[in-house]
Every structure is written in C-alpha cells, then in structure tokens.
Amino acid sequence: MALLLAAANMRTGIASMGPLMAAFQALWGVGAGAAGTLMTLPIVAFGFFSPLMPAVARRLGLSKALGGALVWLTLALALRPWDGYGAMAVGTLAAGVGMAALNVLLPAFIKARYPERMGTLTGLYTMMLNLAAALATGATASAALAWGWPWPLVLSLWSLPAGAAAFVWAAAFGRQDPTADERSADVGMAGERPVASGASLRSALRSPTAWAVTAFMGLQSFLFFSAAAWLPAMLEAEGVPEWAAGWWFSATQFIGIPANFLFPWVAVRLSRQRGLGALVGGLFVVGWGLYAALGARAVVPVVVALGVAQAAGISLALALIGLRSETAAGTAALSGMTQSVGYLIAAVGPVGVGALLDLAGRPAALSLLLLTSGLTVLAGFRAGAPITMEAELGRAAERGRRAGEPGLR
C-alpha cells in the first residue's frame, strides 16, 4: 500500500498542469514556450537532482529518504500556485526535486526489499503512477475549466495525496533499519564507493547498454511530457472544449493501465526485450502520425495508440533498469543514470514543442514528435539486447586486461 501511494504522487504535480496551459498563457500573457517551461522545470529537476539523491539515501537509508521526499513534495505542491508565474515556477521546480527522489529510489527500494517480485511490483507501481496522472489531468480539467473552481486551489489540492502517502510511508517503513541490500544500493548508486561488482554511476557511463536504456527512458519520457503539455492545447485549437481536451489526455492514461502491468510482466519472462522496445516506439509513430494526418477527427485511435505507448514505455523503461543490471547496486547506478541524463533529454520536449508551436506552427511541432518516435524505436530495440551492464563492463575490463598482457599483444 505504501509503495503504491508513493507511486501515485510521482506525476500528479506535472499532469495537473496540462489542462491549464492555455489558461496560463492568457493569465500571465506568456507564449507557448514560456508556458511549456513550467512543464519542463520538474523534468530538469529530475535530470540535475537525481544524481544527488544517493547522498541523502546513503545518509538516511532508502526508506527514510523516500519518506522525506514525500513530505517535501507535499509542501511544494501546497505552496506553489499562490503568487504568480515566479512562485509557480519555483514551486514546480521544488516539486520536481521530490519527484526525482521517488523516480530514483523506488526502483532501488523494490530491488533491495522485494527482488523476487520486481516485475509484478514494477507493473503495479507504474500502473498506479499512470492512473493517478490520469485522474490529475481529468479532475483538474473538470474542476478548473468546467466547474469554475479557482485554479490555484485546484492545483494545491494535489498536495493532499502526497501528504497521505507520507503518513502511510512513515507508518510502514519509517522506523525500519535499512537492510544490507539497501545500504549496498545507496553506496553503489553514488559512484564514490562502488561495491565489489564494480557497479557505480561512473562505471554506468561507460556502458553502451546503460546508454541505450537511458536513451529509451529519455525519448519515451520526451513524448509523454510533450503530450501532457500540448495535446490538450492542440485539441482546443481545433475547437474541442477545454474540459474535454483535458479528459482526452486523461483517457490516454486510463487506456494504458493494462499495458502498465502487462509489459513488465512479459519483459521479465523474456531473455531479450528488443521487440517490446521497438513496439513502444512504433505505437508512438502510429499515434502522432494519425494526429498529423487527421487531427482531432482521429482523436479516438490517437488516444488509444498514445495511451498504450506511454504506459508501456515507462513500464518497460523501469523494468529494463532492473533487467539490464545484476545487483541492487547496479540497479541503483543504472537508475541514477537514466533518471538524470534520460530526463534531461525529456526536458527538451514540452518547451521545444511549445517553441515550435509559437514559431512555426503545429506541423513543425508534430514533425519533432514523429522524429522522436522513430528514434524511440531504435533505442528500444538496442535497450532490449540480452546483456547486463555489469557483464558488459566485465567483458570490457577483461579485454583491457588481456590487451595489457605482453604475451597477448
């Protein structure tokens, strides 16, 4: 229960802003690029603050670090919407720091505490992540745009689930001492005191497999956050009512819920996941291709394709973090890399699409989304190759050792 409640708060602070993008532009007199920056700030926080989370986890233990992240997130979401664009930006960035801790540490926590249930728990928590994001988008659209509630009140209400999750987490895990695997994960992720396996954040940067998983995480996240920011606004521009446009994006999240559970469940039972990775990218190509060709007339198949792609993408990316590593330390190191470098890739999405909408119009923005979808096919195919980061690094070290032996030159 505590894991699922924590996961439910990993995207609500971002998804709840999507239906309000047009309102932000009108209220503050800013363009699509500036409005998109609000959606980009938490993703930037993911990129820059993720590598710092191991120090907190190493000091407190994974359990207490995650509990502290939920408290921080509660405060940031409660305070951010009350004093104009500047306060909204600072509060959204602060909320991103809390979400970054959840992004990085929850996979390591699952690997350390429940390694035999990694596939099932990954599926369940990503399913909860998407379900909560769907509710955040749809409920915000209804409350602020259809019912006329003040939007600062609507956004601040999303602090309540975070507060509830913090309370339940403290009751479940707050007083438990970290296990040996938890301590190993904390150290290995930091890259300063690698464990015997050699898995560290520094060593992960030398692994082609780690880079493939990172690219897949970053590209599918680029597409998700871009859709969260701008799909409702693009539908509104075609005459779809504001509240309905928000619910259409929310529908992508509901539709994807079965894929949240199915893709990691299947992935952990396969020796290679190349087909699954390519399928995710292909579904993005189909969804954005249909929208580029037909617009709002194809909203139903677009929502279905994007919904399955988004849910399958994040679920498979998180599963690959565990599948492409052998130990809790390796999982934490790979998680740190994907959550930092990967999300810096993703951060380009909302602001880049917004800028193109301002400067060149919808066709240019959709071209960027289609190009990114094609790259996701390639990244997913490579990330599904059946080799772990540690095995790859071990082979490279062995080749280096042999090359250094005079008799083998």
CA gap 161, 224 in Å, rounded? 22
Task: Note whether 216 and 223 are within 8 A (CB).
Answer: no
The tokens for 51 are 């590598």
Q: What is the DSSP letter of 241?
A: -
Question: How far apart are alpha carbons 160 and 174 in whole angstroms?
Answer: 19
Question: With the C-alpha atoms ordered 233, 239, 241, 247, is the resulting torsion angle positive or negative?
Answer: negative
- Identity of the residue numbered 63: S
Residue-wise pLDDT tens digits, 270-303: 889 999 999 999 999 999 999 999 999 999 999 9
pTM metric for this prediction: 0.79
Q: What is the rounded distance in angstroms from the CA atom of residue 154 to the CA atom of residue 182?
A: 37
Q: How far is CA 14 from CA 84, 129, 273, in A?
A: 17, 12, 29
CA 20 – CA 6 distance, rounded (Å) = 25
Ordered per-residue pLDDT tens for the chain, 409 residues: 788 899 999 989 988 888 888 788 888 887 877 888 888 899 899 888 887 887 788 788 888 899 999 999 999 999 998 888 888 999 999 999 999 899 888 877 887 788 778 767 877 887 788 788 888 888 888 888 788 888 889 999 999 999 999 999 998 886 665 554 455 444 344 333 333 344 566 778 888 999 999 999 999 999 999 998 889 889 988 999 888 888 898 899 889 888 878 888 899 888 899 999 999 999 999 999 999 999 999 999 999 999 999 999 988 998 898 898 887 678 778 877 887 899 899 999 998 998 999 899 899 999 999 999 999 999 999 999 998 888 888 887 777 777 766 654 4
Give 24: exposed, middle or buried? Use CB within 10 Å, 0-12, 13-18, 19+.
Answer: buried
- Residue 338 in tokens: 């994907």
DSSP result, 21-62? HHHHHHHHT--HHHHHHHHHHHHHHHHHHGGGHHHHHHHH-H
What are the tokens at 180?
Answer: 């040996």
Under CATH, which number does the domain 2-408 receive?
A: 1.20.1250.20
- pLDDT of 197 reads 44
Tally the residues of the chain: 409
From residue 384, how far is each of 136, 180, 215, 366 by CA, in Å? 32, 30, 12, 27
Q: Where along the chain do its domains lie?
A: 2-408
At position 166, the amino acid (one-letter code) is A
Are residues 14 and 228 in contact, defined by beta-carbon separation less than 8 angstroms?
yes
What is the rounded distance in angstroms from the CA atom of residue 118 to the CA atom of residue 276?
18
The three state secondary structure string of 317-380 is HHHHHHHCCCCHHHHHHHHHHHHHHHHHHHHHHHHHHHHHHHHCCHHHHHHHHHHHHHHHHHHH
